[in-house]
Amino acid sequence: MSTYFLYARKSTDVEDKQVLSIDAQLSELRSLAKHDGLQIVAEFVEKQSAKMPGRPVFNDMIRRLIAGEAQGIVCWKIDRLARNPVDGGQISWLLQQSVIQHIQTHDRSFLPADNVLMMSVELGMANQYIRDLSANTKRGQREKARRGEYPGLAPLGYINNPRTKRVEVDRRKAPAIRAAFELYAENKSRFEDIAAFLYERSVRTKKINKSGSSGDKPLKKDSIKKMLTNIFYYGHFEYSGEIYKGVHTPLVSKQLFDKVQAVLELRGRQRHKPKNEPQPLCGIMRCGECGGMITGEVITKHQKNGNVHRYVYYRCTKKRGLCSQSYIREEALSVQLSDLLSLYVMPTDWPQELCRMANEDEQKAESVAMTAVQELRVKIAQLDGKMSRFVDLYSEQDIDRDTFLTRKRGLMSERKSAEEQIARLEHDATLWLQPLRDFIKDASMLEEIAKTDNLPSKKLSLQKIFGSNLSLHTREARGVALPQWASLREAQNNFDKSSPVLCIADGEGFEPSRGCNAPATLAVWYFRPLSHPSIRSRVPNLMCESEEDYMCWTSF
């Protein structure tokens, strides 16, 4: 005797609106089975649409039918089993193969011997119904949109009235939404602030949302942005890519909406520039009291008449603990730094003279290097000659292998050193002049830089002159210059202003003119390696740290 599965299905989707409830289907089908004497071995209840393949309960039932657990299905209508060609085809095929021997609905029977067309028509109709419904729904919604009625879920501040099918103002929430637009237009609030503002006025996330998490929280930033950019609020709406003029009551004026859009754009741009963006003079000064770094920040002041002022202040970060230092305005600091820079300006006639000396030195150094290179080349030739003599001795077996190898190793080592010396001389002979040339350039540009408002250039010069020895104390910038700059300043101060003749001290540096009364105790030494004989002879006790040490500006 055949056994049956009972299958009942109803989804919450629009296509099943007119279908009997699941309970009604079950009771009808049970009494139908009893009446016809069909033995039900299992009941399958599904609460999902059949428009797409992949229903779990249906798939389970099919699997068990194929396994032979039952031979027939009892269901309300054939469209309960399938509304798509995949599932429909499977039912049809199983019936033709007699895996399913009988399908009983409330008004008819389907058997394997039946005309295949009947089953296909029924299943095809179920499928077509879904397609029509979807097309009709879309057509209906487009028509609705053309009439100015929004065919979707009402935005915040509105409700969908199920009776009139219109979107109406939510009297409880609308005032808060309007106030939120006004608040944002003032350009003082972030999205989070607007969310908090609305939260206080009971505009919150839905209590139960789709993901099942509990709501009643402040709205997310995305939701706020969506709200502030939704043209629905001034009376229009967008539906499927088109803009329609709505019949709903606007909550805000177009003017207010536009103001909000302007603020959105402004703040959107500012997001890429954080508020604490490093200011031009940051990172070069330390606090004179606590040693903390001096940082800058922008302060924007809004006046009642609508004017907006932007100030940059510099102050101690106070990250090293207690510190009583106050802040200083960028303009005031900039003036002070210019004053500091101008102390190190090189007198106009010096650069030319120094350049001339540098060129002279370069020539001298080059000829010295050339002589040295020639000597080294001779040495290499001698080493090569020695080597070939040893090879001869070894091949004549006049010396043993060990002696030969030892001598060879020694000669090759000497040759390598000489080669490297040549390379170094050819490349580096005048390299030590570069710092001097850079210094002359920096020093001669200083006057110009001190006059301008170009803060990045000022910063660069300050770093060159003071390194990390610049500090801010009681709103006053102070600095200890690096030796070459300190020397420049002293030399400059000690020149007789009435006869500013630059004398080169024994052709090696420059110092106050001997023609004037200033004692020649201050000399700014020319950049030369400390090992340079001219330096050694002048300053016998000078400590020389390395051959490459170019720092030979000194005052004594």
For Zn ion, the closer CB: 101 or 325: 325
Collapsed DSSP state (helix, strand, coil) of residue 277: coil
Is 542 among the residues that bind Zn ion (CB under 5 A)?
no
Q: How many CA atoms lie within 13 A of 307 on its CB side?
A: 4
Which CB sits closer to Zn ion, 99 or 290?
290
Name which of 219 and 287 has its Cβ closer to Zn ion: 287
Which residue in this structure is represented by tokens 């080669």? 419
Measured distance CA(64)–CA(358) in Å, rounded: 99
Q: Which is nearer to Zn ion, 316 or 425 (CB)?
A: 316
Q: Compare residues 294 and 357 and give the one whose CB is closer to Zn ion.
A: 294
Residue 125 is encoded by which pair of tokens? 């109709």
Q: From the CB of 326, what's the least distance to Zn ion, in Å?
A: 10
Residue in 148, 175, 292, 347 binding Zn ion, rule: CB under 5 A:
292
Q: Exposed, middle or buried: residue 18 (CB in 10 Å: 0-12, 13-18, 19+)?
A: exposed
471 binds Zn ion (CB under 5 A): no
CA distance 106 to 118: 16
Binding to Zn ion by CB under 5 A, coded x per residue (else -) over 518-537, reads --------------------
d(CA 167, CA 182): 23
Site stretch for Zn ion (CB under 5 A), options 58-66, 170-178, 237-245, 312-320 = 312-320
287 binds Zn ion (CB under 5 A): yes
In the bound state with Zn ion, the residue whose beta carbon lies nearer, of 126 and 287, is 287
Other Cβ atoms within 10 Å of 205 Cβ, number: 17
Cα separation, 556 vs 543, in Å, equals: 14
Secondary structure class of 314 (helix, strand, coil) = strand
Contact 455, 333 (CB under 8 A): no
Q: Measured from the CB of residue 316, what is the shortest distance to Zn ion in angstroms?
A: 3
Query: Which region among 56-64, 116-124, 177-185, 292-300 touches Zn ion (by CB under 5 A)?
Result: 292-300
Measured over the CA atoms of residue 543, residue 547, residue 549 and residue 552, the dihedral's sign is positive
Cβ closest to Zn ion, residue 213 vs residue 324: 324
Q: Which of 66, 83, 62 is nearest to 10 (CA)?
A: 83
Q: Name the nearest CA neighbour of 145 among 229, 241, 234, 257.
A: 241
Other residues' Cβ atoms within 10 Å of the Cβ of residue 315: 18
Q: By CB under 5 A, is residue 472 in contact with Zn ion? A: no
Q: Count residues near Zn ion (CB under 5 A).
A: 7
| Contact window for Zn ion (CB under 5 A) among 174-182, 287-295, 352-360, 393-401 | 287-295
Binding of residue 148 to Zn ion (CB under 5 A): no
Contact 187, 264 (CB under 8 A): no
Contact, 498 vs 492, CB < 8 A? no
- 316 binds Zn ion per the rule CB under 5 A: yes
Q: Which of 28, 43, 193, 289 binds Zn ion (CB under 5 A)?
A: 289
Sheet holding 509-511, edge to edge: 503-505, 509-511, 524-525
The residue (of 133 and 323) whose beta carbon lies closer to Zn ion is: 323
Give the 3-state secondary structure of 25-76. Answer: HHHHHHHHHHHHCCEEEEEEEECCCCCCCCCHHHHHHHHHHHCCCCCEEEEC
CB nearer Zn ion, residue 185 or residue 470: 470
Min dist. Cβ of residue 480 to Zn ion (A): 18
- Strand 286-287 versus strand 242-245 pairing type: unpaired
| Residues 39, 40, 42: CA angle, nearest 5 degrees | 155
User: Is residue 502 a contact residue for Zn ion (CB under 5 A)?
Assistant: no
Nearest distance in Å: CB 285, Zn ion? 11
To the nearest whole angstrom, how small is the minimum distance from the Cβ of residue 467 to Zn ion?
20
Give the whole-angstrom CA distance, residue 528 versus residue 550: 6
290 binds Zn ion (CB under 5 A): yes
In the bound complex, what is the minimum distance in angstroms from residue 476's beta carbon to Zn ion? 14
Per-residue CA distances from 324 to 33, 295, 328, 478 (Å): 93, 15, 13, 18
* By CB under 5 A, residue 325 contacts Zn ion: yes
CB of 365 to Zn ion, least distance (A): 48
Q: How far is CA 479 from CA 141, 468, 531, in A?
A: 75, 9, 30
Stretch that binds Zn ion, among 4-12, 64-72, 313-321, 366-374 (CB under 5 A): 313-321
Interface segment toward Zn ion; rule CB under 5 A; list 3-11, 324-332, 427-435, 545-553: 324-332
Q: Which stretch binds Zn ion (CB under 5 A): 22-30, 59-67, 289-297, 345-353?
A: 289-297
Q: Which is nearer to Zn ion, 295 or 554 (CB)?
A: 295
Stretch in the footprint of Zn ion (CB under 5 A) among 111-119, 184-192, 280-288, 459-467? 280-288
Q: Where are the beta strands (DSSP E) in 303-440?
A: 308-316, 328-329
Shortest reach from residue 318's CB to Zn ion, in Å: 6
Nearer to Zn ion, 453 or 476 (CB): 476
Contacts with Zn ion, 229-268, as mask; x by CB under 5 A: ----------------------------------------
CB closer to Zn ion out of 117 and 322: 322
Residue 484 interacts with Zn ion (CB under 5 A): yes or no: no
Q: Establish if 323 lies at the interface with Zn ion (CB under 5 A).
A: yes
Kindly tell me which of 194 and 287 has the beta carbon lying closer to Zn ion.
287
Q: Which residues bind Zn ion (CB under 5 A)?
A: 287, 289-290, 292, 316, 323, 325
